[in-house]
Amino acid sequence: MADFDLFVIGAGSGGVRAARMAAQRGARVAIAEAAALGGTCVNVGCIPKKLYSYAAHYAADFADAAGYGWSVDAARFDWETLKARRAREIARLNGIYDGLLRTAGATLLHGRARLVAPGAVEVGGTVHRTRHVLVATGGHPVAPDFPGAALAVSSDAMFDLPVFPRRLVIVGGGYIACEFASIFRGLGAAVDLVVRSDAVLRGFDADVRAFLGGELRKHGITLHLQSEPARIERRDGALALTLRDGAVLAADTVLLATGRRGNSAGFGLEEAGVAVDAAGAIVVDADYTTSVPGIHALGDVTHRVQLTPVAIAEAMVLVDRLFGSGERRLDYDLIPTAVFTHPAVGTVGLGEAQARARHGAVRVFRSEFRALRHTLSGRDERTLVKLIVDAATDRVVGLHMVGEDAGEVVQGFAVAMRAGATKAVFDATVGIHPTVAEEFVTLREPVA
């Protein structure tokens, strides 16, 4: 007889949710983790990044206050205090995850797990038999290979840099690169962002990409578009990043934020016959089952949609299939997401080019304006809102925002879009005045 009904490898967001829900349904569950509980999101991703984003906003808030009659003495930022406060909060969250698992009745094993057979997992020299295995091992940063790349750091290291970098060079134009650019610029660093393409945030709506690039420049971030690193060297106690066009950027720290890869190596997957693609992603079917029956995978290691809430939702679907009615499903359309840059990006649904490719005729509604807050703050920050409507059905198929609290605003509209809201429904909705969110229900004339 098997020791467990489900053995989860990896205690990140998806793995912990699967273990908890399965245990609460009466399944015998084990979960193994070699590092801190909570995975990337809790330890070196969403949570600490958002905390640092909050910290970075204070510099702008202090400056804005003068426009509202406040006299604020010269502020001083202490890097060590921020690091220590963040570390305490993350440790608290690690403890909460531990308590949630134990309360649910799951067996928590500390150590690196390895498949030794389709229904057998070894941890610390002990082999555990199980009916089902779930691989939820997440991902890790990957860096380009060029001379001196080892002198740079990955995003995992940015939260605990021993010395605050007064000059930071970031290679990459995705959401991680852009978020760290905003964070460290807000905290006082001079920031250069080296982007291979002609705009940041590849894959996002073109208007969003162009608009955010302009706002990042306003915040003092120097963008080097269509640029790539050639080499990094040590010079005079600092780092020098030479670009392929010959330009040299001086830095105290160089961050390589050029993508992530699934943590699929070293877990015995290949020996067990589990198919892994060239990008390191575990290949799964629509039910999150790998090429080996009884072995399942979800979350970032499958490279489907690398978002914490998606991994959690996938876990709920899998547990329901294995230990419930099997009726739960996850629709990958209309998944909202946010990029916590300054200003932030919020988006749900299709970009304009995607919408035209899928639906043909579309109507586009767009507005760009200075938010009320900055009429007195004096800050030259603008907001972008954009709706994309399927002309045949009047259904809103894309909603995008660049501006303060974009994630908070877009979340509510995502519910409406999931319910099938049309432009007529948006038009019939009374706005809350004065807010930025009301702009979405007052857009009347499509752009040419």
In sequence order, what DSSP letters do the residues of 57-108 get, joined into one string? HHHHHHHHHGGGT---PPP---HHHHHHHHHHHHHHHHHHHHHHHHHHTPEE
With tokens 């010395």, the residue in question is 163
Element housing 21 (H / E): helix 13-24
d(CA 345, CA 328): 30
284-323: burial string, b at 16+ Cβ within 10 Å, e else: beeebbbebeebbbbbbbbbbbbbbebbbbbbbbbbbbbb
User: Where are any strands of DSSP class E within 273-432?
Assistant: 295-297, 337-339, 345-349, 362-369, 383-390, 396-402
Q: Is 433 a catalytic residue?
A: yes
- What the block records as the tokens of 103 is 């309360």
- What the block records as the tokens of 88 is 């305490």
- What the block records as the tokens of 28 is 């015998």
In the DSSP assignment, the letter for residue 35 is S
Catalytic residue among 57, 219, 303, 433: 433
What's the length of the chain? 448
Coil, strand, or helix at residue 323? helix
In the DSSP assignment, the letter for residue 173 is -
Residues 6+ positions from 274 with CB-CB distance below 8 Å: 115, 135, 282, 290, 291, 292, 295, 297
Annotated active-site positions, please?
433
